[in-house]
Amino acid sequence: MQQPIPSGYSARTTANHIVKDADLTGKIIIVTGGSAGLGLESARTLAAAGAKVVVPARNVNKASQALTGLSNVELYPEEMDLSKRETVEAFGRWFQSRYDKLDILINSAGIMAIPLSRDERGNEMQISANYLGHYHLIHHLLPQLKKANGARVVTLSSRAHWYSAFNFEDPNFNHSSYDKWIAYGQAKTAAALLSVAVDELFKEDNIRAFTVHPGSIVTGLSDALSEEELTAFGAIKANGERGYEQYDNERKTISEGAATIVWCAVSPQLDAHGGVYCENCDIAPLHTDDGMTVGVKAWAIDKAIALRLWEETPRLFN
């Protein structure tokens, strides 16, 4: 399943380059996290290519400022916090009342490596915001995705999924010691498994799903990290600013990071594929040994595990 095409693109490809010849007029797209970082760049790029982009946000005032001046972008006027299920449900009802289809859903919003905290239902916050919120959002938007007759669901994962498989015994760290990176890794593994499950369950409805590792990009996602942690990652410039001095296959600009998101959302190169994990604007190889610096772990693309997680999520979480 994880066989590079190859696509002809690279780590240096930008989001604008992916859509330079695309006409997305008539397409309806939702981008969670679409008012900051990679989500904002994805929303801007897709809207500029003619799509109507709908952006739900946790902080509406902040999102409104970020989206000012962008054509073809509609900001959901109420709060949608992925860790608050009632706000996800409210957004789903609002969208269904206004749009009869959804061509592309991009699950870009997320949090990373935060101290232990829990949502209002008691779920560990990283699994809640990065996985559970999008799981429930997909459920509410399935009718519109099916009506598109060719929809795509694109979910952001991370190289951090290497840190942890999904722990069915204690996914909320109720009985085990909390480690913020293990928790983040588990959440990003769950995000990848979500794509596999959606693709397997709904490809007969012409819905295909993809997982993206965008690369390492310094955005607001890293706000919870200390200066010492960022220095260890090489993400502090000589002048003390957060960011990279040089870029490579892993370290990218925001536009380069958004390129794989946009590629998974619109590229005809993926028409015959689905459920795959992608990076550097291509299908990623399977990560099989410790010497590899790219690729996806088998535990994040296993169909049996993905379908089990899809079915057991209502039991595993509050």
d(CA 307, CA 318): 19
Axis-axis angle for helices 133-147, 180-202 (nearest 10):
20
d(CA 225, CA 30): 28
Q: Is the bond into 56 cis (omega within 30 degrees of 0)?
A: no
d(CA 59, CA 70): 18
Q: Is 184 a catalytic residue?
A: yes
Residue 207's H or E segment, with its range, is strand 207-213
In this structure, are residues 232 and 188 in contact, taking their beta carbons and an 8 Å threshold? no
In this structure, are residues 59 and 82 in contact, taking their beta carbons and an 8 Å threshold? no
Give me the amino acid identity at 14. T
Q: Which of 184, 244, 247, 277 is catalytic?
A: 184
Q: How far is CA 309 from the centre of its chain?
A: 18
DSSP result, 55-123: EEESSHHHHHHHHTT-TTEEEEEEE--TT-HHHHHHHHHHHHHH-S--SEEEE-----SPPS-B-TTS-
Indicate which residues carry an active-site annotation: 184
